[in-house]
Amino acid sequence: MSSKQQMKRGKNQSLYKYLPETWIDFSVRGKERRQYIAKVLRWNSEKLDGINVKRLIRTVNESVRSFESQASGHGPVAPTVGFSAELTKDNCDVLTPKASDEERGIVAQISPLTFYCKLCNKVYQFNSEEEYQKHRYCTNPECHHSELAQFRQIYFCKCGYATDRHNPRCTEHGYQYVKWYGNYDFVCTKCKRLIPMQVKCPICGEMLRPKAALDPAQFFVFSLSLIDLIDEKLENFISETEYGPYITFAYWLGLISKEELDEIIKNGIVSDPDAYQKVYDQMYKLMFDAFKNEVTAATAAKTAADQQCGNRFNDIINNLKTRIFATGTDLSSIAERILEYDLVTRLDDVSDLESAVKVARLLNTNANPEQYAQIADRFGIKSARVCDRIPFVSCSYGYTRVESEWKDGVQLHAFKEEKPGRKNIYATNLNTEGVLFEFDRKKIIQWLLANEVINEGEAPDLGSEEDIKIWFLNNIKPSLIHPFSTIDEMASKETYYVYRLIHSLSHLLIRAAADIGGLGKDSLSEYIFPGIPAVLIYCQNSQGFNLGSLFNTFEAYFDKWMNKAYSNAQKCIFDPICIERQKACTGCLFVNEVSCQHFNKDLDRALVVGHVNRETQRKTTGFWEE
């Protein structure tokens, strides 16, 4: 093996398992196959083109700020390190591994470089991989040239520091007599001195004991996925105009048409030029007289003219401002999810339930296509469709160690710069297929009422689809949904229960798809639209996936898919402990963390099937309860 091993991995897999600064299991092929622990040093990268870079960077900024906001005070370390005050296109590159035969994308080397002889227990500490390759056999003649075994322990700290460097040295006799007998100390057999296996963290001062290099806690990657709204005009419409989110809500509520939305995204809200100029001039003079500042006057004049001269759209916007109470990042986040959802529903290659019925009849499978609509209604699904070529971009932007969420002393690290002064976000893009489930908003409100999460006075008018949609826009708060932490029920009980419900339904659908269609659970992932509410089950693996499998599962076996999800929800091999205490576990709801948008948090099977708590006798009505 060369000094810096080059490895070729699937790009999607690389984003989660093979990032710089993580330790990995690594096989070396040759005359003899050897298994090592290795550390990823860097990627051979190139810029990822064909995506909305501006939006991806903005979303990463929001995620980093969200992590920082959890730090209530000044702990031993800052909550983040390595990120600039604001990532921009001018200081940050979106990179992806190169795919070529000459230069492979991921570079790693053997780590730790501490080895020992299994026969005589003598410890060897090498300074480089080249040195190890020259001396990888025990020098003790009695061991008959036994090949050395690698230590599989490293040191890592919650502040993000990590090292593979052991120090098996006796202060009196050096390395010559040091041996290891499988515990947490080296031993100098000459003076019988114990040499503790420990390291002091140079950042926070904590004393570290060794842990398995492949312990998942040594590297928690922070990542996110987006349905890629490629048009930067749309990005500007959402993030840089005051009216963008409200115009999006107007479209979602049916107050304007798709054509009107597209025209505003393209050209903005077009005003009468004479009226606009008149308002602008009047406000400019007023503000300049007051402040004697041209910039202040021009800014105020433009704001006033934009507000007063936007023809009929201003009335719609002003009305929505009195009915929709989301602010800040929630406002733009909700609007983006609506536009993402709309993009998926308008793709060219889409098959809805009505089309699926026709396909199932032609295929003449053992499904019951005549029951598809009835089953969807039974399970609270307002609409369902399978779509192809959904544009996704997934990225990883940092990592923590020991803890996967903020706590005192935990630090979110940016990846090392590949070029001086340029921050890195690692990403891949993918056009894939998925099944989009939109849940029945009215039934969810009725379910919340049945469980006394809300009362009649807090519920919308169930006879008005517009009122119900606005209720979801106001009460489901994206800013409370953090990937690595659970939602605070006290901050928003509506967000807590609605998200836990649709997240649990999502996992049941993923697991059932794997059972019915022969799909690997690890090749499927979820994308949740909390305020719609809806979930997209999509293929996230760019290699080795049988394209068309989701289409076949949806069209030919929709009824069996839903019934299998329901059957799986009813029981868990770890019941009654699971349903009484954890509410979700590996036996019923958990999926691979790569497949879960929320890392298996905020899941509750009782919300789906119903349950009576043995201790409190409190009844939870399940959304799918008969």
What is residue 219's predicted lDDT score, i.e. its pLDDT?
Answer: 95
In the predicted model, what is the mean pLDDT of residues 549-574? 93
299 and 189 share one domain: no
Name the domain boundary from 298, 321, 344: 321
For 204, 313, 525, the CA distances from 598, given in Å and listed in that order, are 29, 37, 11
Question: What would the mean pLDDT of 59-69 be, rounded to a whole number?
Answer: 87
Count of H helices and E strands in the chain?
Answer: 18, 27
Task: Report if residue 88 sits inside a domain.
Answer: no
Is 161 within the bounds of a domain? yes
Percent of the chain residues past pLDDT 90, beyond the cut: 58
pLDDT of residue 500: 97
The CB density around residue 617, as the number of other CB atoms within 10 Å, is 7
C-alpha 534 chain-centroid distance: 17
Range name among 35-39, 67-71, 108-112, 175-179 with the lowest pLDDT average? 67-71
Domain-located, residue 95? no
Q: What is the mean pLDDT of residues 270-286?
A: 80
Between CA 373 and CA 482 the distance in angstroms is: 34
Out of 149, 184, 212, pick the residue that ends a domain: 212
Say whether both 306 and 334 belong to one domain: no
**Which residues, including other chains, have CB under 8 Å from residue 270's CB and lie 6 or more apart?**
311
433 to 74, 91, 226: CA distances (angstroms): 45, 34, 14
Query: What whole-number distance in Å separates Cα of residue 117 and Cα of residue 145?
Result: 10
Spatial CB neighbours of 433, under 8 Å, sequence gap ≥ 6: 386, 387, 388, 389, 390, 538, 539, 547, 548, 550, 551
How much of the chain is helix, strand and coil, in % rounded to 5?
35, 20, 40
Reported as a pLDDT band with limits 50, 70 and 90, residue 100 is low
Q: Given pLDDT bands bounded at 50, 70 and 90, which one contains residue 542?
A: very low
Q: Which of 229-238, 276-285, 337-346, 365-374 has the lowest mean pLDDT?
A: 229-238
| 577 vs 573: CA distance, rounded Å | 9
Note the pLDDT tens digit of each residue in 436-458: 999 999 999 999 999 999 999 99
458 and 532 co-located in one domain: yes
**pLDDT at residue 187 above 90?**
yes
Helix ranges, 9-52 (H): 11-17
Reported as a single tens digit per residue, the pLDDT across 209-267 is: 999 999 999 999 898 889 998 777 888 888 888 899 999 999 999 999 999 999 888 88
pTM of the model: 0.83
Q: How far is CA 332 from the centre of its chain?
A: 18
Return the structure tokens found at 411: 């630090």
Cα separation values, 218 from 152, 184, 213, 454, 600, Å: 13, 18, 7, 42, 19
Q: Average pLDDT, whole number, for the chain? A: 88
Work out how many domains the chain is built from and give that number. 3
Average pLDDT score over residue span 484-509: 95
Determine how many CB atoms are found less than 10 A away from the CB of residue 259.
8
Q: 537 with 561, same domain?
A: yes
Cross-strand pairs, 394? 225, 428
Is 272 part of any domain?
Answer: yes
270-284, 292-306, 335-349: range with highest mean pLDDT: 335-349
In Å, what is the CA distance from 400 to each residue of 166, 218, 484, 617? 22, 8, 11, 41
Q: What is the pLDDT of residue 585?
A: 95
Query: Measured between alpha carbons, how far is 190 from 198 in angstroms, rounded to an integer?
Result: 21
Based on the fold, state whether residues 563 and 472 are members of the same structural domain: yes
Tokens at 34, concatenated: 């050897």
User: pLDDT value at position 2?
Assistant: 40
Angle 294-308/273-291 helices, nearest 10 degrees?
140
The pLDDT value given to residue 234: 84
Cα–Cα dist 311/315, whole Å: 8
Helix (H) or strand (E) holding 131: helix 129-134
CA distances in angstroms from 69 to 161, 480, 489, listed in the order given: 22, 11, 18
Lowest mean pLDDT segment, chosen from 168-182, 393-407, 516-530: 516-530
Question: Could you say which of 273, 292, 321 is where a domain stops?
Answer: 321
pLDDT band for position 72 (50/70/90)? Answer: low
- Segment 67-90 shows an average pLDDT of 81
Angle made by CA atoms 614, 618, 622, in degrees to the nearest 5: 100
Residue 111 has pLDDT above 70, yes or no: yes
Q: Considering only CA atoms, which of 45, 110, 77, 84 is closest in space to residue 398? A: 84
| 71-75, 336-340, 379-383: segment of lowest average pLDDT | 71-75
Instruction: Tell me which residue of 178, 220, 163 sits closest to 399, measured CA to CA.
Output: 220
Residue 261 lies in a domain: yes
Residues 6+ apart with CB under 8 A from 292: none
DSSP string, 363-378: HT-S--GGGHHHHHHH
Q: Which residues of 74-105 are buried (b: 16+ CB within 10 A; e: fewer)?
A: ebebebbeebeeebeeeebbbbbbeeeeeebb
Q: How high is the pLDDT of residue 229?
A: 82
55-64, 76-85, 110-119: range with lowest mean pLDDT: 76-85
Is 363 among the domain residues?
yes
pLDDT at residue 1 is higher than 60: no
- Let me know whether 599 and 510 are in one domain: yes
In this structure, the answer to whether residues 332 and 475 fall within a common structural domain is yes
One domain for residues 313 and 454? no
Same domain, 315 and 345: no
Over the stretch 372-423, which tens digit does the pLDDT of each residue have? 999 999 999 999 999 999 999 989 999 999 988 888 889 999 999 989 999 9
pLDDT of 367 strictly over 90: no
Same domain, 196 and 241: no
Rounded to whole angstroms, the Cα distance separating 50 from 4 reads 31
Residues 282 and 195 reside in one and the same domain = no
Q: How do residues 468-492 score in pLDDT, each as one tens digit?
A: 999 999 999 998 998 767 999 999 9
404 is a domain residue: no
Host domain of residue 461: 328-391+433-620
Per mean pLDDT, which range of 98-107, 314-323, 384-393, 436-445 is the poorest? Answer: 98-107
What's phi and psi for 601, nearest 5 deg? -105, 165
Under the banding of pLDDT at 50, 70 and 90, the label for residue 60 is very high
- Answer yes or no: do 375 and 489 share one domain: yes
Report the share of the chain in percent with pLDDT over 70. 92
Where does the pLDDT of residue 547 fall: very low under 50, low under 70, confident under 90, or very high at 90 and above?
A: low
pLDDT at 10: 55
Whole-number pLDDT of residue 625: 93
* CA dihedral over 561, 567, 571, 573, signed as positive or negative: negative
pLDDT at 516: 87
- pLDDT of the residue at 565: 96
Give the distance from CA 65 to its chain's centroid. Answer: 15
Tell whether 239 is covered by a domain. yes
Query: Is residue 591 over pLDDT 70?
Result: yes
**DSSP letter for each residue of 240-269:** S-SSHHHHHHHHHTTSS-HHHHHHHHHH--
